[in-house]
Amino acid sequence: MAAPAPVRQRPWHIRRGGVAVVVLVIATLALLTATEALAQDGPGWLLYLLHDVVWVPFWSWIWVRSGFWSLIWLAPIAGLSVAVLLEFLGLAQPMRYLQTAVLRLVLNTWAGGALLGFQQAIGWGRNREGLMVAILRADLLRAETVAKAVAETDVAGKLNPTALGRMASQLCYLRAQDEATQIRVAEALALIALVAPPEATAHWRAVVQRIWSHPETDRIEALTQITPQALETLLADMRQGVVAPVTLALATLGVARDDSLQRQDLMQAWFTHWARLRHQTSPRRTDLAEAETLINFEFWAARAETGLATRAVAADRSGWLAGLLPGVAMHRAMGERAAAGLPARRIGGDA
């Protein structure tokens, strides 16, 4: 996985010391001029000349001539200067907040793509746009939260995925080669598939695939659109502990995105074996633990278990069929319950 970009270290002590020296020099010269402490026929002549030729006309132009009307244009300039100085000294970040607000406004419009293309054209490179990446990650997190809330209410096709798709594609563009970002974008596409119409899902998948290279697209699609046959093979490899965490995370998205009846047993086997290996294997399975940090594993596991439980309710056989077959379990434990050795959740309540 790509190493994080180094944090830029700014020389705050040098900046603050330099500003302090400049302020002290200006204050000293102003005091010497005001008190006329230097002789006018000596070196002080040049200082008095600057005061009469430069400072007096300048002060007359900006204040004496217009008086308080000068505040109309002087106040914004003074406020901006103070903000720049505070930013320069590291005492506050008013300019960064303004920059963030402007970038967020642009990135959330049609002009966002033009901005990304412009910053690449002027040669910033793909490792010097940390602020934009931070903004996109924060906004993508908010968009994912909204999508997950919609998914949990099962209101399919009711969310406009434009914000989620735009953030994911822009982040993908800036960090196309970063594996963590690839997983993040793949998870965003999986969320879009849950809450948006199929044509919206196809659109944003096509946008992202144009950014990724063909090998990357094939590798990621093979896992997020995993087939039952490939899933069975991967499940066996997972038991052996020979699967990379990135592959496990992407495959989990592929398993949880489709809760169709044909994949129900494989989905149950995937999360049940995951929980069992995660909690009952010694030594600790660090590959599974790392994979869980790469995606919102709890959300996808809960969604899979909810889908399986819903189908169990729809096919409840705890009535007359259980009476015909006494002693036969009508439901199987899943996920964490199976790993912990607990009985299956009963219809209408916990066991």
For residue range 9-21, list pLDDT tens digits in order.
788 999 999 999 9
**pLDDT value of residue 321:** 41
Pick 334 or 27 by higher pLDDT.
Answer: 27
- Give Cβ neighbours of residue 263 (< 8 Å, ≥ 6 apart): 228, 231, 255
- Residue 207: CB atoms within 10 A of its CB come to 18
* Beta pairing partners, 349: 346
What pLDDT, in 10s, does the model give residues 266-292? 888 888 888 888 877 677 788 999 999
Find out whether 73 and 81 touch, Cβ atoms under 8 Å: no
Find out whether 165 and 207 touch, Cβ atoms under 8 Å: yes
Q: In degrees rounded to 5, what are phi and psi of residue 349?
A: 170, 170
Instruction: Inform me whether the pLDDT recorded for 186 exceeds 70.
Output: yes
Least reliable range by pLDDT among 85-94, 149-158, 330-339: 330-339
Instruction: Inform me whether the pLDDT recorded for 28 exceeds 70.
Output: yes
Helix residue spans in 65-160 (DSSP H): 71-89, 94-107, 111-121, 130-152
CA angle 270, 305, 294 (to 5 degrees): 60
Find out whether 183 and 294 touch, Cβ atoms under 8 Å: yes
CA distances from 146 to 106, 216, 224 (A): 21, 28, 21
- Residue 292: CB atoms within 10 A of its CB come to 19
- pTM: predicted TM-score of the whole model, two decimal places: 0.72
**pLDDT value of residue 34:** 87
**pLDDT value of residue 158:** 64
Instruction: Inform me whether the pLDDT recorded for 324 exceeds 60.
Output: no
**pLDDT value of residue 206:** 93
Instruction: Inform me whether the pLDDT recorded for 210 exceeds 80.
Output: yes
Q: What pLDDT band is residue 102 in, cutting at 50, 70 and 90?
A: very high
Instruction: Inform me whether the pLDDT recorded for 319 exceeds 70.
Output: no
% of residues, the chain, pLDDT over 70: 79
Instruction: Inform me whether the pLDDT recorded for 203 exceeds 70.
Output: yes
